[in-house]
């Protein structure tokens, strides 16, 4: 009887471990969570009924341990080294040259992978079972963090496979994926706790817990990057060894690649640098290791780093600088945004001297004061942000930041809606700042695209009283413009030409250019597709507007309000009087062309989104329905179409492909 219980326990463990491996190591789960939970519950039940069969490497034993009083120190049998750094192609080329000369080969093959921004860990396995996990410490002596590390699901408690070495020490990085970091900080903020500054600190803080139950809630991951002590067989190069580790149960980096020579390594560097922000974890560079273990042994070590590997660092994404002051800027819709003026600092590959602070609540959240030293972050193309204050460096004369009581530009009252973080100037187009922004938007590339009409010039034109708003742009003359400072006759003429040629546009661009709150390009396109003419859009009721896909109650309210305000109607009239036009899109013929037809769209379209197709069909007078019935004229089926296609077939409704759709819409 009990023999069969043991059989069941062993089988459950094996199955759960297989699922763990697929989920946490291969990112490729094979069963739904419910199935996994059911297996785990059964295992826990059997182990509590038959405690004699309980073993520490059971997958049920990841979270159970009680808190420690302190971490115990452990010595590393082989020291855990660090890496030398390269910061430029020259550094890397010099490293490669030194190594080639040392081992006397013409070209070196490197095993390349991202440098993960986390905490180094050493995992010791005896006969395939995890017996100890330790931090790097000073490289010789670290701390025993076994109980915490056991809670990390991508750390195998027991290795899989016939060829697992007797004794195996695996080294790697423990890190917190970006998503888990965001969720952890959101939870911290919701409970009025201090958030972590970055995923690395969060990972370190989560590992340094004396209570493993806390670590268990933190969603850490482990990725293997090298082997320490090994008693048993291992392939003779880094890349193959890593794939053995992967088979035995470890997560390895999916970006890992072998590159031969400097040029290939540089191409790898650049490709990862451009992918950096899309990766689900933070990286701070690339680690290059000579792939051949023979070559590694030949090259050896210097003091604390191997001669056969190097970390080529990416430009830092965070730096410390001083806050010189805070400006309050007024945007197109009156939103007042505090902007940090910073002592210029090189971060994320560019010099940054301004960073957005979003709103006053954000200033309060960070606890920012004038004169503070701050951490500035610029990641990828995202606008620079002030992340936190370095309190230890706060000067005695640091001053509180006070928000303006009235609009800093036009002195109008400031409004703040209940529940909204944004404060707004109530001046509307009376406010020069809002007017300037409205003109800038109108002239921008995706709107009327007036070349040469940039921010500075707009500012001068408004300040000099040459234009009051977008309605006045088209009456500007060469003579008026030529009088402006730093504006010759020629550039004045060019600008007037650019303004005149911008008169011919499309209705979509015109609607977008008006700068109606929350009406971006996509919404403008949807409005035109739905209504067809400017008159129809401007006279649409709230009920008509929310019929449009892409338009919700808030946006419908903004559109309605825009066309109710007399000064907006005057501006639109002035623009049309000045000769703005778009090729005739009166859709009388075409509207009729699909009138009375009802279509259903299903599957994925290649040349347009389903929403776009829907709008365009409606624009031609058709109805688009979500379900197939005998009244359906035809179903347009894209790729991977499902049940609607089957229904159409069963009802004998015609099924057309994307090509037919394009023809009908042409
Ligand atoms: S290899 C002898 N590979 O970077 C080889 N290290 O200064 C030793 N690190 O603390 C390290 N990602 O924890 C290697 N893919 C990677 C790495 C990596 C991050 C960390 C490592 C160490 C530091 C080296």
Q: What is the DSSP string of 252-306?
A: --TT-EEEEHHHHHHHHHHHHHHHGGGSSS-EEEEEEEESBHHHHHHH-EETTEE
Could you tell me the distance, in angstroms and rounded to a whole number, from the CA of residue 141 to the centre of ligand 1? 17
User: 112 CA to middle of ligand 1, Å?
Assistant: 12
Ligand 1 centroid distance, CA of 619 (Å): 58
The pLDDT, as a whole number, for residue 590 is 45
Asked whether 517 and 558 are in contact (CB, 8 A), the reply is yes
Whether the per-residue pLDDT at 108 is higher than 50: the answer is: yes
Which atom, in ligand 1's list, is nearest to the CA of 114? 15
* 230 neighbors 124 (Cβ within 8 angstroms): no
Residue closest via CA to ligand 1's atom 2 equals 81
Pairwise CA distance, residues 632 & 628, whole Å: 6
Residue 543 has pLDDT above 50, yes or no: yes
Beta strand pairing call for 167-175 and 119-126: antiparallel
pLDDT tens track for 17-42: 999 998 888 877 777 777 888 899 89
Nearest CA to ligand 1 atom 17: 115
Q: Which of 186-200, 221-235, 284-298 is predicted least confidently?
A: 186-200
CA gap 20, 160 in Å, rounded: 12
Residue 2 confidence (pLDDT): 60
Atom 3 of ligand 1: nearest residue by CA position? 225
User: What one-character DSSP code corresponds to residue 386?
Assistant: E
pLDDT band at 318 (very low <50, low <70, confident <90, very high): confident
Instruction: Give, using CA atoms, the residue closest to atom 22 of ligand 1.
Output: 82
Query: The tokens 């309980």 sit on which residue?
Result: 54
355 in Cβ contact with 342 (< 8 Å): yes
If you average pLDDT over residues 155-184, what whole number do you get?
Answer: 96
| Pick from 213, 220, 215, 216: nearest CA to 199 | 220
Q: Give, using CA atoms, the residue closest to atom 21 of ligand 1.
A: 120
Average pLDDT, stretch 575-599? Answer: 74
As a whole number of angstroms, the distance between CA 335 and CA 423 comes to: 6
Indicate whether 592 pLDDT > 60: no
CA distance 385 to 395: 22
Per-residue model confidence (pLDDT) at position 619: 78
Calculate the average pLDDT of the chain: 91
Closest CA to 379 of 199, 125, 137, 249: 199
Between CA 117 and CA 140 the distance in angstroms is 21
pLDDT score for 64: 58
Residue nearest ligand 1's atom 18 by CA = 115
- Residue 618 pLDDT > 90: no
* Distance in angstroms (rounded) separating the CA atoms of residues 143 and 363: 39
Q: Are 581 and 504 in contact (CB under 8 A)?
A: yes
Q: Which DSSP state fits 22?
A: I
Which pLDDT belongs to residue 587? 47
CA distances from 29 to 23, 33, 58, 216 (A): 4, 9, 20, 20
* Buried-exposed string 211-238: b where 16+ CB fall within 10 A, e elsewhere: ebeebbebbbbbbbbbbbbbeeebeebb
303: left (phi over 0), alpha (psi -120 to 50) or beta: left
Under the banding of pLDDT at 50, 70 and 90, the label for residue 588 is very low
The 3-state DSSP class for residue 268 equals helix
Q: Which residue has the tokens 């004169």?
A: 371
Q: How confident is the model at residue 584 (pLDDT cuts 50, 70, 90)?
A: low
Q: What percent of the chain has pLDDT over 70?
A: 98
pLDDT at 48 over 60: yes
| CA 173–ligand 1 middle distance (angstroms) | 7
Which ligand 1 atom lies nearest to the CA of residue 173?
13
Q: Which of 83, 84, 133, 289 to mutate to test the pocket of ligand 1 (most atoms within 8 A of CB)?
A: 83
Report CA(119)–ligand 1 centroid distance (Å). Answer: 9
Q: Is 240 a residue whose pLDDT tops 50?
A: yes
pLDDT value at position 177? 97
What is the crossing angle of helices 178-190 and 199-207, to 10°? 80
pLDDT of residue 309: 97
Task: Classify 124 in phi/psi space as left (phi over 0), alpha (psi -120 to 50) or beta.
Answer: beta
> Of the residues 116, 123, 269, 309, which should be mutated to test ligand 1's pocket, given the most ligand atoms within 8 Å of the CB?
116
Three-state SS sequence of 599-664: EEEECECCCCCHHHHHHHHHHCCCEEECCCCCCCCEEEECECCCHHHHHHHHHCCCEECHHHHHHH
Ligand 1, atom 10: closest residue by C-alpha? 120
**487 Cα to the center of ligand 1, angstroms:** 57
Structure confidence by residue, pLDDT tens digits, 79-94: 999 899 898 999 999 9
Q: Nearest to residue 170, comparing CAs of 117, 248, 92, 236?
A: 248
Known catalytic membership, residue 115:
yes
Q: Where are the beta strands (DSSP E) in 106-185?
A: 109-116, 119-126, 129-135, 141-143, 167-175
The count of C-alpha atoms lying within 13 angstroms of the C-alpha of 649, restricted to the half-sphere facing its C-beta, is 7
Asked if residues 374 and 318 have their Cβ atoms less than 8 Å apart, the reply is no
Token pair belonging to 139: 């490289």
Strand partners, 132: 124
Sign of the CA dihedral running 298, 303, 305, 307: negative
CA of 83 to the centre of ligand 1 (A): 7
All residues at 6 or more sequence positions from 115 whose CB lies less than 8 Å from its CB, including other chains: 283, 284, 285, 286, 287, 311, 313
Q: Per-residue pLDDT for 3 more than 80?
A: no
Which of ligand 1's atoms lies nearest the C-alpha of 117?
Answer: 19
Return the residue whose CA atom lies nearest to atom 23 of ligand 1: 82
Atom of ligand 1 nearest to the CA of 120: 13
Cα pseudo-dihedral 189, 191, 192, 193, rounded to 10? -80
pLDDT over threshold 90, residue 189: no
Is pTM beyond 0.75? Reply is: no
Contacts with 425 (C-beta within 8 Å, 6 or more apart), sequence order: 330, 334, 336, 407, 409, 410, 412, 414, 415, 431, 433, 434
By the 8 A CB rule, do 458 and 443 touch?
yes
Pocket test for ligand 1, best of 81, 95, 117, 120 (most atoms within 8 A of CB): 120
First to last CA, the chain: 75
3 vs 608, higher pLDDT: 608
CB contact set of 239 (below 8 Å; sequence gap of 6+): 111, 256, 258, 291
Q: Pick the catalytic residue from 115, 289, 509, 620.
A: 115
Q: How far is the CA of 184 from the centre of ligand 1 (A)?
A: 25
Tokens of 473: 């742009």
Q: Which residue ranges have their beta carbon within 6 Å of ligand 1?
A: 81-83, 113, 115-116, 120, 136, 173, 225-226, 287, 306, 309, 311
Residue whose CA is closest, atom 6 of ligand 1?
115
* 329-362 pLDDT, tens digit each: 999 989 999 999 999 999 888 899 999 999 999 9
Q: Over the stretch 452-501, which tens digit does the pLDDT of each residue have?
A: 999 999 999 999 999 988 989 998 999 999 988 888 889 999 999 999 99
Task: Choose which residue among 81, 112, 173 to substitute to test ligand 1 binding: the one with the highest number of ligand atoms within 8 A of its C-beta.
Answer: 173
Rounded CA-CA distance 662/599 in Å is 14
Is the Cβ–Cβ distance between 407 and 414 less than 8 Å? yes
**Encoded tokens for 566:** 């007399």
Q: Reduced to 3 states, what is the DSSP secondary structure of residue 224?
A: strand
Q: What spacing in Å lies between the alpha carbon of 482 and ligand 1's midpoint? A: 62
Which pLDDT value is given to residue 585? 56
- Structural domains in the chain plus CATH codes: 2-61 (1.10.287.610), 73-313 (3.30.470.30), 318-393 (2.40.50.140), 432-586 (1.10.150.20), 598-665 (3.40.50.10190)
pLDDT (0 to 100) of residue 249: 97
Residue with tokens 């590992």: 207
């Amino acid at each position: 009887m009990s023999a069969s219980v043991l059989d069941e326990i062993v089988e459950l463990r094996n199955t759960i471990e297989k699922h763990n491996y697929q989920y946490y190591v291969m990112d490729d789960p094979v069963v739904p969570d419910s199935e996994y939970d059911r297996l785990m519950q059964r295992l826990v039940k059997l182990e509590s009924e038959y405690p004699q069969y309980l073993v520490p490497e059971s997958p049920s034993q990841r979270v159970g341990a009680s808190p420690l009083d302190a971490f115990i120190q452990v010595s590393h049998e082989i020291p855990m080294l660090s890496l030398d750094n390269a910061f430029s192609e020259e550094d890397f080329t010099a490293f490669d040259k030194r190594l080639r000369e040392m081992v006397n080969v013409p070209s070196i093959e490197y095993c390349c992978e991202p440098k993960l921004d986390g905490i180094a860990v050493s995992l010791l396995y005896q006969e395939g079972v995890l017996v100890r996990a330790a931090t790097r410490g000073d490289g010789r002596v670290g701390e025993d963090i076994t109980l915490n590390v056991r809670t990390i699901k991508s750390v195998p408690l027991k290795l899989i496979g016939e060829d697992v070495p007797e004794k195996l020490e695996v080294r790697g990085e423990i890190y917190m994926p970006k998503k888990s970091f965001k969720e952890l900080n959101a939870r911290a903020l919701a409970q009025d706790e201090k958030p972590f500054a970055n995923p690395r600190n969060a990972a370190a803080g989560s590992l340094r817990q004396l209570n493993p139950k806390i670590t268990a809630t933190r969603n850490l991951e482990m990725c293997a990057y090298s082997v320490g002590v090994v008693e048993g067989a291992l392939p003779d190069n880094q890349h193959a060894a890593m794939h053995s580790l992967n088979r035995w149960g470890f997560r390895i980096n999916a970006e890992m690649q072998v590159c031969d020579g400097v040029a290939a390594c540089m191409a790898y560097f650049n490709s990862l640098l451009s992918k950096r922000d899309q990766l689900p974890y933070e990286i701070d560079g690339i680690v290059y290791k000579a792939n051949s273990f023979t070559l590694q042994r030949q090259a050896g070590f210097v003091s604390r780093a191997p001669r056969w590997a190097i970390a080529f660092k990416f430009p830092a994404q965070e730096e410390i600088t001083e806050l010189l002051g805070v400006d309050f800027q007024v945007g197109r819709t009156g939103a007042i945004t505090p902007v940090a003026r910073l002592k210029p600092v090189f971060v994320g590959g560019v010099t940054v001297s301004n960073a957005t602070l979003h709103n006053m609540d954000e200033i309060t959240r960070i606890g920012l004061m004038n004169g503070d030293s701050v951490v500035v972050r610029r990641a990828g193309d995202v606008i620079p942000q002030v992340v936190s204050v370095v309190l230890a460096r706060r000067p005695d004369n640091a001053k509180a930041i006070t928000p303006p009581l009235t609009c800093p530009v036009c002195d109008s009252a400031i409004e703040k809606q209940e529940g909204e973080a944004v404060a707004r100037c109530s001046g509307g187009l009376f406010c020069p700042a809002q007017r300037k922004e409205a003109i800038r938007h109108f002239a921008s590339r995706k709107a009327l695209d007036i070349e040469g009409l940039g921010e500075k010039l707009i500012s001068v034109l408004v300040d000099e009283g040459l234009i009051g708003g977008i309605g006045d742009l088209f009456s500007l003359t060469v003579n008026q413009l030529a009088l402006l400072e730093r504006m010759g006759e020629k550039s004045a003429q060019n600008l007037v030409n650019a303004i005149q040629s911008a008169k011919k546009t499309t209705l979509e661009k015109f609607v977008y250019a008006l700068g109606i709150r929350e009406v971006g390009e996509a919404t403008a396109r949807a409005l035109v597709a739905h209504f067809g003419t400017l008159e129809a859009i401007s006279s649409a009721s709230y009920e008509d507007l929310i019929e449009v896909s892409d338009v919700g109650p808030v946006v419908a309210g903004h559109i309605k309000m825009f066309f109710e305000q007399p000064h907006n109607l005057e501006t639109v009239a002035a623009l049309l009087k000045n000769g703005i036009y778009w090729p005739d899109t009166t859709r009388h013929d075409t509207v009729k062309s699909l009138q009375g037809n009802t279509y259903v769209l299903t599957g994925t379209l290649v040349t347009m989104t389903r929403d776009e197709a829907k709008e365009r069909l409606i624009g031609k007078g058709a109805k688009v329905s979500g379900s197939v019935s005998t009244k359906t004229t035809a179903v347009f089926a894209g790729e991977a179409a499902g049940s609607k296609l089957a229904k159409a077939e069963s009802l004998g409704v015609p099924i057309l492909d994307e090509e037919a759709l394009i023809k009908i819409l042409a």
